[in-house]
Structure 1
Amino acid sequence: MKLPAVRRTLIRTLFALLAAVTAVLAGTVPANAQPGDAKVIVIGVPGLRWYDVEASPELTALVNQANVGSMSVKTAGPHTCPIDGWLTINAGARAWGSVPGKPCGELPPVVDGKVQNWSEYVDRQAEHHTGAPLGRLAESRPRICGFGPGAGVALARTDGTVTGWQSEFDLGKLASPNCGDAIVDAGPMPLRGRDEARRQVAELVTQARNSSPGAWVLLVGVSEELENAHQEPLVAMQLPPEDGARWLTSDSTRRPGLIQLSDVTATVLRGEAKPIDPAGPAQPGPLDGSEIHATGDVHTDAAAVIEDRLDANERFEHPRPVLVAVGITLLVVQLGALAWFVIRRSPRSRSTFVFTLLCQAGFFSAVFLSTVTSWWRWPEPAFSLYCVVLGLSALVAVLAKLVAKNYAFLPIALGTYLLLLVDGVLGTPLQVGSMFADGPVIGGRFYGFGNSTFAALAVGALVTAGWAAHKLIDRSRTQAALAVLAIGGAAIVVDGKPGWGTDFGGIIALTPAVLLMAWLVWRDRVSWRALVGIGLTGLVAVSAVAWLDYQRPPAERSHFGAFVARLLDGDVSDVLIRKLDMALAMFQNPGGWGMLLGVLLCMAATVLPDRVPSAAYRAFYHEQPLARPTLLALSTCGLVGMVLNDAGVALPAIMTGFALPLLVAHLVASERTATVSPESHLVQEQ
């Protein structure tokens, strides 16, 4: 076949693959049945935990009469004080009401029909770029009534005025036809005298249910009691269940048994904020939350349900703190092995150092495999998770070494790639409870792949694609390039498809990296015209996915469609500023600058290999035909992700933490082979 024909074939295949990727990524996620138009009564209790339900016979008795779940109270600020929680319900989006570094304090009173100092809270949303449209709940639901200080904050309009509100609970008014939906502040759970407070909350729920037959009664924790309280998911119950007590969920979390504060607002508004005055000012963008509904099997054992919720608390709380301990352990062991190797240069010290590097690389699959063990049900969950992850990291390293010896990097990368592909297709069950998942306390992402998971997938995919192309390149550069597109395309599909990875930022970073790698494999060089074409092709593919996702109903959209909606509504600037603030926040401490320096040095090594003071690396770069395309693709993915992702420099730093040990382990092991066997060559395979 002549070169022009080969080129046309490859280009046609490339565009066909991109079209298939776009079609799959734009696939729909089935919508769940939403609650009807029954009256909704929200009873908010700051600090209500599942430990309170366990300790209260009255609250325990409600469990089998309710759909239940855990409530994520993460708001825009570093802590969720009561004012933050009630403002979030007010806006239907994460709000910031507390003052950093100061105690939570009392809620602002309603004086002469207006929340005192309301303008300060409005200004605070602009100051912190939260984008929370204060006043949305009351402006969209005119017949809503409220009781208690927190309800006054939740029902304040855009100018801070409050109507249909009373400072004390009034059962008669709640049952009145003039009271549509209702917000009730049951008061915070006290640090002492908690038993009586629990009994009163249960009694209030019973009264509300009896006063309005057929109404939805939502009992929810809305905040922590104190600014510095340890955060965990709080209680969420919905009475009465329509067809048996089940688990609460929403399309914003897509996790059975988990909802978030903004879902409360979406439920009261039936999923849509409707303006009262069409001639009035422009309305805020789409709701951040989704309507609450029930899912899963019927539960009939209150004790088992409570135990499950307490286990969920363990699952949500420990991964991130234990991540630090595991990271420090791996680093200390690795530095010790490196020192021994530098001093002794013995075969045993070399093997030990290589093994510690492989353990660090194995960590990136161990964090997900750990959830299979259900460590949160073991004694001392935090210590159990620590031991499980370190043990699995070592096991992955041992198996890789046994299977591939000096090429142990390959099964580790391939295993991580395949593991995350399967996890994504299954709906990411391995994410919840893993160290790389943004749990409810952090509130960054409730479903799909987060930034850390994407970083692991990207490295696994690109290294696997490089190996596959290496095996094919002597036979045909076209076949090698197609292998890169197939392996990388699968990662893009799983990472980006709504309902699977649902990672908007990830496919923006991975698509140009895969296209660049395929081009380099095919042509062995790249021009500015090719770079522009690769960039535009990636942009068109991502834009097409986002636009098709936007065509779905608002309740069914993922992050892609929601971004387009905000863009068309002119509501995207605050989102972009907030993400930029998150990315720049990494540089508020020396660690962020250290990560940036390390990442830039690694990226420089991929474009200036002859400046690297390592003969083994220089030989590897120049003699291995796929070393350059693979390393440049990794750098491209990291650079684009750093610039366009809210994780900032953390994303390429995580990628480096996975890819660099794989590379160094291979170089050190290969150097030993060359020393022991002069006939062998660095590029020879077993």
Structure 2
Amino acid sequence: MRGRLLGAVRRGRRPDSAPPLRSRRGRAWVPYLLVVLTAAASLAGLAVRPATGVPGDTADYVILAGSAGLRWDDLDPQRTPTLWQEATRGSVGWLSVRSAHHATCPADGWLTLGAGNYAVWNPQRVSGQCPALAPVVEQPDGIGANLPELGRVVRANASNEPYGAVPGALAESVRCTVAVGPGAAIAAARPFGRVDRYAPTLPDDPQGLFSQCVLSMVDLGTITGSGSARRDRVAQADAALARVLAARPQRSLVIVAGVSDTDTTSRLHLAIAEGPGWQGGRLTSAGTGREGYLQLVDLAPTILTALGRPAPEKLFIGRTATIVAGHPASPADSMLGEHDANKRAGAQLGIAGSFFTGLGAVQLAIFLLVVPLMMRARRHAGPTGPASAPRLLVRAVEVLLIAAALAIPAALVADAIPWWRSGRPGIVFALMALALTAVGTAAVRFAPRWHRTLWPIGVVAAVAVVVVGADLLTGAQLQLNGVAGYSAIEGSRYSGVGSVGLGVFVAGALVVAGCAAQWVRRPWRPVVVVLVGGFAVIMVGSPYLGADPIGAIAVTAGVCVAAAISTGGWLTFPRFAWATVAGLAVTIGFAVLDLRRPALEQGSVGRFLTALLDGTAGPAIQRAATASGHALDSPLTILALVGALALAFSQFSPWGGLNRVFGLHPALRAALAGTTVTVVLAGVLGGAAFAVAGAGAAVAVPLFVLTTLRVLEHAADRTRPEGETDGPGGPGLSLRREGGAGDDGPADKSGAEGVIVR
């Protein structure tokens, strides 16, 4: 002990075991003050929301012209002059046609439009082509119509679906509606099946038809097939739209939408709004938060807002569309060619599953290769034991673990290159992702500090944080329709941080915090964790960046747990209470601020709490549970299970060395605990199941396994330090350091200082 104290004095640093100076005791409150200020800054960052607005002009009439299957690549200035002209004059966007059905067929799309919520016409599973749109439409009086099947559909959506959709809610919000065609009849019918004004087909001269009611809906026909047959159907829809525009009344808003898919292949569709206040710009909504993207459920509230009518309370799940000014007037320059988001999103859907499945298989193979290395690195009490593994093999496995941890960040960076435009997008993406992974691995491996114990885990975690953080700061362009991001076609998220990005970012941030905390004294370790964690909370929860308040709450909980145990020891009741109070303070503060906003501007936390307070939160909870059930099929679940097994073996098996890592570097144990809390909470509360956990495990687990190998390798080294003699207790009793703690930060007390007695 005396030698350690003298050595610390010579190095100009006071050891942990030395008594604190009087001046240092006087500043003991500084870490706690910094923690409070960081929590306040995180809360302020979450509270700020971007301003939203809708066009100030209202319309006297709204005409919705819908066509199932209509996409942007169907448009052509010669073959579809009317659609092309509308897109040039009006506001445009990509329409996601998600409904309550796994495949949004024409009947589901029209029904969802009229409900303003995710609805389903027929819950039976569809394979291949969607069934023909053929609802039973009765015309007893020759003026309106009746849909006798709608009552059954309304009851089925109320009892079997978790969204609380009420078909006909849009029609009930206006005095009367006009419907032309069977699809329009589904959307314009009231909940009991009545359509106020109905025409089976569009008249050759519809003059005066659209001024009978403030809301008119026209079915332009279903666009199916390919080649010349598809082009003929699009031309017929274009000619019908020309007749609609010729008969539109003054001060009318015309919305053109591709309301559904026509088979089980999901796509993005066309959306155009043209009329008073809707000239130019890209369509968006608070529901997507992404410029140029709109949901099918956003059309109903947009129609009512344009007419100056209030939306029905708690029935619409969509948000009113808004306009982001500034885009090329020609659709060829704004929605087609290299700007064709549907092409990129379709390619992403076809590759993402294969990528994560392959990554799970590769990581499992690497972890199985690590097992014999851990067994051979085990420290034995006797003079003999298994020979150490060849150093070249150990180094090769370390490189493989680095590459495995960098795979998802490399995939994110690969999405910056337009691989989806190539003829073989899957092969091109795989080659680019492998090349980026190889470059990143080489940069880490050949860095001068490679041999330091915590260098690989710290630098790779920092790379993950930088990649996701830079993407969020630039608008999350890499995650949108990216292999390691989220798809606008699926409709679960359109902006901010997705499940994969959240898992990668949180795991990286907390591991970086743990490594940085090892370089400071114990009282300051919670401060380091909270500072890095506060940055992560703002990045995840800010509406300008991650736009994920549920994720921000989960990160807050994880950071509090990590800070509480970052100094070593167990999660005692006082530490747990302190972490709980700090986490609840930030969460409750953010929730209160969210509840004070208008209903249409509230985030997901405010909407859920509002529903909880008025007793209508059941559908929201059921939706989260349903989404989690569907997410269990994700390949990310495999990554989560593989990572959990690898950590369990490393910590609890006789050959594992993870507990040794935690003893030498307790802040890393805090980082792993905080990451676990965050990814589990984010998956449960956000309806993502193990998706967040799988992404976090794909980055963190290889790094912890690598660090475990390194610590075991140090522990197995039986070479006596030069000049060492037997201790005073007899032969074989000596003091020896292990684990490399001195290379990566100050040592810890209570067995964490890396000194053992033999």
Q: Normalised by the size of structure 2, how large is the TM-score?
A: 0.81
TM-superposed CA distance for 1:152, in Å, is 1.3
Unaligned runs of 5+ in 2: 1-21, 374-387, 722-736, 745-758
Instruction: Determine the structure 1 residue equivalent to 2:69.
Output: 47
What is the distance in 1 between the residues matched to 2:285 and 2:550? 23
TM-superposed CA distance for 1:24, in Å, is 1.5
Instruction: Determine the structure 2 residue equivalent to 1:77.
Output: 101
Higher mean alpha-carbon deviation, 401-410 vs 8-17, is at: 8-17
Q: 1:383 to 1:243 in 2, by over 3 A?
A: same
TM-superposed CA distance for 1:529, in Å, is 4.4
What is the distance in 2 between the residues matched to 1:588 and 1:65? 44
Q: Does 1:132 align with 2:165?
A: yes
> What amino acid does structure 1 have at the position aligned with 2:164?
G
TM-superposed CA distance for 1:265, in Å, is 0.9
Q: Paired residue for 2:512, among 441, 464, 467?
A: 464
Q: Paired residue for 2:187, among 121, 132, 154?
A: 154
Q: 1:372 to 1:176 in 2, by over 3 A?
A: closer
Q: Per the alignment, in what secondary structure is the counterpart of residue 63 of structure 2?
A: strand
Q: How does 1:18-57 map to 2 (within 5 A)?
A: 18-34=39-55, 36-38=57-59, 39-54=61-76, 56-57=79-80
Q: 1:388 to 1:271 in 2, by over 3 A?
A: farther
Q: 1:566 to 1:3 in 2, by over 3 A?
A: farther
8 Å contact 2:80–2:238 — kept in the other structure? no
Q: How does 1:233-272 map to 2 (within 5 A)?
A: 233-239=268-274, 245-270=280-305
> What amino acid does structure 2 have at the position aligned with 1:185?
D
Instruction: Determine the structure 1 residue equivalent to 2:402.
Output: 358
What is the distance in 2 between the residues matched to 1:374 and 1:652? 28
Q: Does 1:410 align with 2:458?
A: yes
Q: 1:319 to 1:339 in 2, by over 3 A?
A: same
Q: Does 1:145 align with 2:178?
A: yes
Q: Per the alignment, in what secondary structure is the counterpart of residue 536 of structure 2?
A: helix
Q: Paired residue for 1:166, among 179, 183, 199?
A: 199
8 Å contact 2:561–2:674 — kept in the other structure? yes
Q: Does 1:67 align with 2:91?
A: yes
TM-superposed CA distance for 1:242, in Å, is 5.5
TM-superposed CA distance for 1:188, in Å, is 0.6
Q: Per the alignment, in what secondary structure is the counterpart of residue 472 of structure 1?
A: coil
TM-superposed CA distance for 1:92, in Å, is 1.0
Cα deviation per residue 1:291-327 (whole Å; 9 max; x = unaligned)? 2233242414443335347631222122243223333
8 Å contact 2:404–2:699 — kept in the other structure? yes
TM-superposed CA distance for 1:235, in Å, is 1.5
Cα deviation per residue 1:55-80 (whole Å; 9 max; x = unaligned)? 93434454433332221111122110
What is the distance in 2 between the residues matched to 1:35 and 1:521? 53
Q: 1:454 to 1:677 in 2, by over 3 A?
A: farther
8 Å contact 1:26–1:549 — kept in the other structure? yes
Cα deviation per residue 1:261-291 (whole Å; 9 max; x = unaligned)? 0111121011899679xxxxxx541632222
Unaligned runs of 5+ in 1: 277-282
TM-superposed CA distance for 1:363, in Å, is 1.9
What is the distance in 2 between the residues matched to 1:303 and 1:645? 37
Instruction: Determine the structure 2 residue equivalent to 1:16.
Output: 37
Q: Paired residue for 1:552, among 597, 603, 606?
A: 597
8 Å contact 1:72–1:258 — kept in the other structure? yes
8 Å contact 1:65–1:241 — kept in the other structure? no
Q: Does 1:191 align with 2:214?
A: no
Structure having the larger proportion of residues in helix: 1
Report the identity percentage: 23
Cα deviation per residue 1:553-581 (whole Å; 9 max; x = unaligned)? 34433323333343345332101111112
Q: 1:331 to 1:529 in 2, by over 3 A?
A: closer
Q: Per the alignment, in what secondary structure is the counterpart of residue 320 of structure 2?
A: coil
Instruction: Determine the structure 1 residue equivalent to 2:553.
Output: 508
Q: Does 1:633 align with 2:674?
A: yes
Cα deviation per residue 1:196-250 (whole Å; 9 max; x = unaligned)? 3212222222232232244222111111113x2x111011222358586432222
Cα deviation per residue 1:358-405 (whole Å; 9 max; x = unaligned)? 122112322322232233334433332222222222222222223342
Instruction: Determine the structure 2 residue equivalent to 1:279.
Output: none
8 Å contact 1:454–1:495 — kept in the other structure? yes
8 Å contact 1:174–1:182 — kept in the other structure? no
What is the distance in 2 between the residues matched to 1:274 and 1:65? 25
8 Å contact 1:513–1:636 — kept in the other structure? yes
Q: How does 1:507-546 map to 2 (within 5 A)?
A: 507-522=552-567, 524-546=569-591
Q: Does 1:388 align with 2:432?
A: yes
Instruction: Determine the structure 1 residue equivalent to 2:416.
Output: 372
What is the distance in 2 between the residues matched to 1:638 and 1:306? 36
Instruction: Determine the structure 1 residue equivalent to 2:623.
Output: 578
Instruction: Determine the structure 1 residue equivalent to 2:237.
Output: 201
> What amino acid does structure 1 have at the position aligned with 2:150?
W
Q: How does 1:442-481 map to 2 (within 5 A)?
A: 442-473=490-521, 477-481=522-526
What is the distance in 1 between the residues matched to 2:200 and 2:686? 45
TM-superposed CA distance for 1:515, in Å, is 1.0
Q: 1:354 to 1:123 in 2, by over 3 A?
A: farther
Q: 1:393 to 1:290 in 2, by over 3 A?
A: same
8 Å contact 2:401–2:703 — kept in the other structure? yes
What is the distance in 1 between the residues matched to 2:489 and 2:640? 27
What is the distance in 1 between the residues matched to 2:545 and 2:32? 28
- Supply the RMSD in Å over aligned alpha carbons: 3.2
8 Å contact 1:34–1:292 — kept in the other structure? no
8 Å contact 2:639–2:697 — kept in the other structure? no
Cα deviation per residue 1:413-445 (whole Å; 9 max; x = unaligned)? 112213333333443233213223322211101
Higher mean alpha-carbon deviation, 393-402 vs 5-14, is at: 5-14
Q: Paired residue for 2:486, among 433, 438, 455?
A: 438
Q: Paired residue for 1:88, among 78, 89, 112?
A: 112
What is the distance in 2 between the residues matched to 1:628 and 1:336? 25
TM-superposed CA distance for 1:336, in Å, is 5.9
> What amino acid does structure 1 have at the position aligned with 2:619?
D
What is the distance in 2 between the residues matched to 1:431 and 1:543? 29
Q: 1:544 to 1:18 in 2, by over 3 A?
A: same
8 Å contact 1:140–1:273 — kept in the other structure? no
> What amino acid does structure 1 have at the position aligned with 2:151?
S
What is the distance in 1 between the residues matched to 2:154 and 2:69? 25
8 Å contact 1:82–1:107 — kept in the other structure? no
Instruction: Determine the structure 2 residue equivalent to 1:668.
Output: 709
Q: Normalised by the size of structure 1, how large is the TM-score?
A: 0.89
Q: Paired residue for 1:288, among 317, 324, 329?
A: 317
Q: 1:507 to 1:603 in 2, by over 3 A?
A: farther
Q: Per the alignment, in what secondary structure is the counterpart of residue 336 of structure 2?
A: helix
What is the distance in 1 between the residues matched to 2:36 and 2:293? 40
8 Å contact 2:165–2:315 — kept in the other structure? no
Q: Does 1:225 align with 2:265?
A: no
What is the distance in 2 between the residues matched to 1:320 and 1:675? 47
8 Å contact 1:35–1:292 — kept in the other structure? no
What is the distance in 2 between the residues matched to 1:131 and 1:635? 33
Q: How does 1:272-283 map to 2 (within 5 A)?
A: none
TM-superposed CA distance for 1:594, in Å, is 6.3
What is the distance in 2 between the residues matched to 1:209 and 1:121? 33
What is the distance in 1 between the residues matched to 2:456 and 2:79? 54
8 Å contact 1:250–1:259 — kept in the other structure? yes
Q: How many residues align?
A: 671
8 Å contact 2:116–2:317 — kept in the other structure? yes
What is the distance in 2 between the residues matched to 1:327 and 1:673? 34
Q: Per the alignment, in what secondary structure is the counterpart of residue 408 of structure 1?
A: helix
8 Å contact 1:93–1:289 — kept in the other structure? yes
8 Å contact 2:419–2:428 — kept in the other structure? yes
